Amino acid sequence: MSDNLRAMANEERDEAGADDDGAGEEAAEAASSGEGPFSAQGSEPPLPDDPGEAAYVRGYRLWRDGDYAAARTQLRETVEQFPGHRFESYARNLLGRAYLDDDKPASATEIFVRNYQQLPNGERAADSLFFLGVALTALNYKDRACLAFGELQEVYGGNIRSDIAEQLPAARTAAECD
């Protein structure tokens, strides 16, 4: 992430004030959407055997059910207990989403920046950059949101997941990007 975006996100957090008590979604998000190995059609599937993946899925389920505070705790623990795990980027991104979806966009910006900066090749780094723009828009820092969306397109281009690519035009419009 460019130093400008990181500084802006930190400034946004400082200006808006910390909106919760601490500091990541998607293999398990696939559970609800019917995609991926955790497709939940009818009953809750068992947790995966891999402990890091299972920890992430527990956090995802809490997020999916709207228990954002418990999801944040679980996802924070997942990141701390399983550094370097293939689901670390997922957990970090969903941690940010748990703040954003709980109307705490200032805290979300910090998480999204950290995921993008520390794991730029992580499976959800591009998602975090997108949701950073969404959070900045929610904070009414639309010019900065446009920078995040521009960096998303510049850095990830055709490698942006299709569901994020589909949401990007509306997000750019909401931020009043050129």
97 and 111, same domain (yes or no): no
Q: How many CA atoms lie within 13 A of 46 on its CB side?
A: 4
**Nearest of 20, 6, 17, 16 to residue 95 by alpha carbon:** 20
70 and 136, same domain (yes or no): no
164 and 178, same domain (yes or no): yes
pTM for the complete prediction?
0.79
44 and 5, same domain (yes or no): no
pLDDT in tens, 58-116: 999 999 999 999 999 999 999 999 999 999 999 999 999 999 999 999 999 999 999 99
24 and 85, same domain (yes or no): yes
pLDDT of residue 100: 98
Q: What is the mean pLDDT of the chain?
A: 84
The total domain count for the chain is: 2
Q: What percent of the chain has pLDDT over 90?
A: 74
59 and 113, same domain (yes or no): no
pLDDT of residue 130: 98
**Nearest of 61, 78, 1 to residue 26 by alpha carbon:** 61
Instruction: Please state the rounded mean pLDDT for residues 17-37.
Output: 39
Residue 166: pLDDT over 70: yes
Q: Which residue range is the domain that position 50 belongs to?
A: 20-103
pLDDT in tens, 82-95: 999 999 999 999 99
93 and 133, same domain (yes or no): no
Q: Classify residue 153 by burial, with Cβ atoms within 10 Å: 0-12, 13-18, 19+.
A: middle
CA of residue 80 relative to chain centroid, distance:
16
98 and 24, same domain (yes or no): yes
